[in-house]
Amino acid sequence: MKLQRKNGLRATALGALAVSGALVLTACGSDDNSGDTGASTKPTSAAANAICDGAKGQLLASGSSAQKNAMDLWIKNYMATCSGVAVNYKSSSSGEGIIAFNQGTVSVAGSDSALKPEEVADSKKICEGGQGINLPMVGGPIAIGYHLEGVDSLVLDAPTLAKIFDTKIKNWNDQAISKLNPGVKLPNKPIQAFHRSEDSGTTQNLGKYLGATATSDWKYEAEKKWPAPGGQAASGSAGVATQVKQVDGSIGYFELSYATSQQISTVQINTGASAPVEATSENASKAIAAAKVKGTGKDLALDLDYTTKADGAYPIVLVTYEIACDTGNKPETLATVKSFLTYTSSDEGQKVLSEAGYAPIPAEINAKVRETVASLS
């Protein structure tokens, strides 16, 4: 296949088309492709290494919003290079994306959690002769953002986080929080904890972390629906971040890029390592690097270690999967699916992740992703 390169004028024009046509990916939980949801404002640059041969028409995708800011850049760059292709991603939630994929209304779904056995079974009705598979494409930290006037640095551990989100700890000057933050003047102020209102893979990954590390304090199954009583709900990571930004005394969880773009303070996690660990792309990469492939065949679902105590390894991480048919993709969209996913898994595509506050997929795993994408049929 021939490497496609477009000149700067075409890149600029197509970049403008991508924005005006509302084809840019949207924020977590948002169905609006035009709103300001904390997306990166970096200028569009052509995806120099994208292979566009055969790609054409419109590619419909939907689901997870955790990868939103990375996907903003991917789509802009890809469309600036591959003329005649429109990638339209409706960002809602992992659960909704999987439903749309298994109903055949989108060719690719994004999910922060791997497909369940029953979802794989449903996918076989759409993927003729095949099934839906998990392709890890985006890694990154789930930041615990907080807004507490006068407190610029905050350390929490898993049991304390569990009690906060389970409304067992209700005030910021609680003894458990004070013990983790010697010398910090914590106000006598109620805690307002925010969680996702819709089914969310981000919620499920936070639940996996709490379930693995706070076994005495978090008794809920790790599901996409928020399980604990109390707290306040907001739509999508964008909605949770907005509430935390606005409400003094609040705490919530969302991808790091939302905290970075909105200048929201984030919690350092006491994992038992030599020092509390900050939510950064580099620290998340240290945790994700220990992941093992647990999927079989072409499925590349990962097993993450949430209990790591390695120095500098941030434990609250997620991996977002692109879900596609291994066999039985629609003929009219197959070339475009392969072209776009080849770009996102390329060295160039993965490099964009660090720039957007995410963690690239470890090289050994990403090599398997590229091989699998090339074999889609």
Structural domains in the chain plus CATH codes: 8-139+321-375 (3.40.190.10), 142-287 (3.40.190.10)
Do residues 20 and 76 make contact, with C-beta atoms less than 8 angstroms apart? no
CA distance 185 to 33: 42
Torsion, CA 54, CA 60, CA 66, CA 71, rounded to 10: 40
Residues 6+ apart with CB under 8 A from 158: 209, 210, 213, 214, 217, 218, 269, 271
CA angle 267/316/187 to nearest 5° reads 20
Can you give the pTM of this predicted structure?
0.77
Residues of the chain with pLDDT under 70: 1-46
**pLDDT recorded at residue 21:** 32
**pLDDT recorded at residue 45:** 64
Give me the amino acid identity at 297.
G
CA 231 to chain centre: 22
**pLDDT recorded at residue 40:** 39
**pLDDT recorded at residue 65:** 78
Burial class (CB in 10 A: 0-12, 13-18, 19+), 177: buried
